[in-house]
Amino acid sequence: MNDVVAVARRPRPTGTAEFGAIVIGAGISGMFMLYRLRELGMRVRVFETGSDVGGTWYWNRYPGARFDSESWTYGYSFSKELMQEWDWKEHFSPQPDTLEYLNRVADKFDLRRDMQFDSTVTAAHWDDAAGLWTVTLESGEQARSRFLCTAVGILSAHTLPAIPGRDRFRGPAYHPARWPHTPVDFTGKCVGVIGTGATAIQAIPEIAKSAKHLTVFQRRPNWAAPLHNSTISKSEMDAIKARYDQIYAHCASTPMWFIHQADPRKTVDVPPDEREAFWEKLYAEPGFGIWLGNFRDIGVNEEANAAISEFIAKKIRQRVTDPAVAEKLIPKDHGFGTRRVPLESGYFEAYNRANVLLVDTLCDEPIERITPLGIKTSRREHELDILIYATGFDGVTGAFDRIDIRGTGAVQLKDAWAESPRTYLGMLAEGFPNMLMVLGPHTARGNIPQAVEHSVEFQAGIVRFMLERGHVRVETRPEHVAEWTETVIKAAEPLLSSKVDSWQTGVNRNVEGRTVRRVLGYNGHGIHFRRKTDEVAKGGYKEFLFC
């Protein structure tokens, strides 16, 4: 029996439990990682902060939370049986349905028996001599394992606004990523929302329907376009099921693994009336088409980007009754699609309601502090019963930073990545042996479940390779880390999005030190990434070092 399996099957010694692999997180990534590692005969333990499976879809229960991606491209594809059993109810699934789906997956594959909930990992230290990771939980409990699999999500480290007086507000205050499990009743209440990112853009129209008054505190507006959600009939779902192979094969051929493919034409080559007609068509269609199915130069050419931005601005002016409010909702500091485009359902019309007030905290009324009664701006105190901090996340690396992860020579991951993550393919980090990252920084993303499946398949392949050969340790090779880091940074250079502050470029002023832009994802074509990872796997993972 090789050493990895020996560790995996060794009975638990008293004291610290030992596993073949420890997985951090029971969201989409951790669930599938567990499934694949179990298939390899490993003894696995998943530690999860939440009280059940689901990750993002467990936590984000705020009103209006739903996919911005077509539901029928957003499920797992590893089990054809599962795909045929599950009926998506809406083209863009609402959070309760998605959570139900993930629960169904957990039940079907009996995943919970290897999961420990209400268990936050606070530290993971590599013991070079033993070739094992020691994982510590908030409770003080420890466990050891040959492999550490991070399945922590790219948007799980939520951040509260760095505004004085935050703890003084006397009413209930919520971050959408820690939304209560029982419905929040806004009837007759004055509600305040800080932030106008994708989360707020989904929540605001819903809250506006029942709140007595809603005040939106906007620092910088975001571009947003209509989602055009609709229900899926039984016959439509049957037709989707019959086409699943084609749908997933098509997604695998697009840059970001969505159904949308950029139009091969350049904006600047298309006559204005033809462009306009094309944009009208995209604006009327569901999903990310207006962003990802647009002319291929809108994300790299200033002139093209200015033209599409003007088109979207015109739409905002048409939809918002008060021209002054419309102008406040139109971004002036970045172009359309240079930050992740939130998709909305009646967001702009919400500002036409008598019970909704937009407060521009950048130009008109800076927030001074949070008071027991509400929010004090430079002009007045806005009295509130409920306060919502839709202020986002410390994206991609934030969840890693919140764990004291130490690799070879006790180097802390946070320090190793202070300037830039250093990984090979975003799968393993330099200096952190046997740490397999699902959706780590510098990997390809886009359609998250499809990226997760690809990432997990690659890593399960490495583990299988090691089990078959009796290897007990895998790490990166410096020359390949250098090559990949350069590839990732180069791929981001031509993008207009690289010149804009957002969670995607690692900027979050609510987190100390997060003021400098970094490249956090691989922005090349999804096909190139698949090809590269497939070549590495077929070639026997020569780019990694095994022993």
Instruction: State the residues that interact with ligand NA7 by CB under 6 A.
Output: 155, 161-163, 194-200, 219-220, 340, 361, 390-393, 503, 510
Q: What is the DSSP string of 43-112?
A: -EEEE-SSSSS-THHHH---TT-B-SS-GGGSS--S-HHHHHH---SBSS-BHHHHHHHHHHHHHHTTGG
Q: In Å, what is the CA distance from 362 to each residue of 124, 182, 218, 389, 544?
A: 41, 34, 8, 17, 48
Q: Which lies closer to ligand NA7 via its Cβ, residue 201 or residue 240? A: 201
Distance CA 215, CA 2 (A): 62
Nearest approach in angstroms of CB 303 to ligand NA7 is: 25
Give the span between the Cα atoms of 250 and 451, in whole angstroms. Answer: 14
Residues 6+ apart with CB under 8 A from 105: 31, 53, 76, 82, 111
Least Å distance, CB 341 to ligand NA7, is 9
522 and 426 Cβ atoms separated by less than 8 Å: yes
Which H, E and C letters describe 420-458, residue by residue? CCCEECCCEECCCCCEEECCCCCCECCCHHHHHHHHHHH
Residue with Cβ nearer ligand NA7 (163 or 416): 163
DSSP state of 253: T
Q: How far apart are CA 207 and CA 185, in angstroms?
A: 9
Of residues 135, 144, 140, the one with CA closest to residue 12: 144
Minimal distance in Å, beta carbon 204 to ligand NA7?
11
**Considering beta carbons, is residue 77 or 218 the nearer one to ligand NA7?**
218
Between 63 and 197, name the residue whose CB sits nearer to ligand NA7: 197
User: To the nearest whole angstrom, how small is the minimum distance from the Cβ of residue 465 to ligand NA7?
Assistant: 33
Q: Residue with the closest Cβ to ligand NA7? A: 197
- Please report how close the Cβ of residue 343 comes to ligand NA7 at its closest, in angstroms: 10
Confirm if 460 and 261 have CB atoms less than 8 A apart.
Answer: no
**Cα torsion for 284, 285, 286, 287, to the nearest 10°?**
-100
Nearer to ligand NA7, 126 or 393 (CB): 393
- Of the two residues 199 and 450, which places its CB atom closer to ligand NA7 in the complex? 199
Instruction: Rank residues 284 and 362 by Cβ distance to ligand NA7 and give the closer one.
Output: 362
Rounded to whole angstroms, the Cα distance separating 434 from 308 reads 45
Between 388 and 462, CB nearer to ligand NA7:
388
Nearest approach in angstroms of CB 194 to ligand NA7 is: 5
- Pick 109 or 174: Cβ nearer ligand NA7: 174
Q: How far is the CB of 273 from ligand NA7 (least distance, A)?
A: 33
Residue 217 CB, shortest distance to ligand NA7, in Å, is 6
* Residue 226 · residue 343 · CB < 8 Å: yes
For residue 390, the minimal CB distance to ligand NA7 (Å) is 6
Tokens standing for 122?
A: 């606070």
- The terminus-to-terminus CA distance of the chain in angstroms comes to 16
Burial 419-458 (b: 16+ CB within 10 A, else e): ebbbbbbbbbbbbbbbbbbbbbbbbbbbbbbbbbbbbbeb
Closest approach of Cβ 507 to ligand NA7, in Å?
A: 8
Comparing CB distances to ligand NA7, the nearer of 23 and 390 is 390
Q: How far is CA 205 from CA 64, 194, 216, 346, in A?
A: 8, 14, 11, 6
Smallest distance, ligand NA7 to C-beta of residue 91, A = 18
Q: C-beta of 363: minimal distance to ligand NA7 in Å? A: 12
Name, in order, each residue with C-beta under 8 angstroms of 453's C-beta and a sequence gap of 6 or more: 32, 76, 77, 78
**Closest to ligand NA7 by CB, 343 or 435:** 343
What count of other Cβ atoms lies within 10 Å of the Cβ of residue 393?
22
Residues in the chain: 547
Considering the complex, state which of residue 392 and residue 421 has its C-beta at the smaller distance from ligand NA7. Answer: 392
Q: How many whole angstroms separate alpha carbon 92 and alpha carbon 85?
A: 18
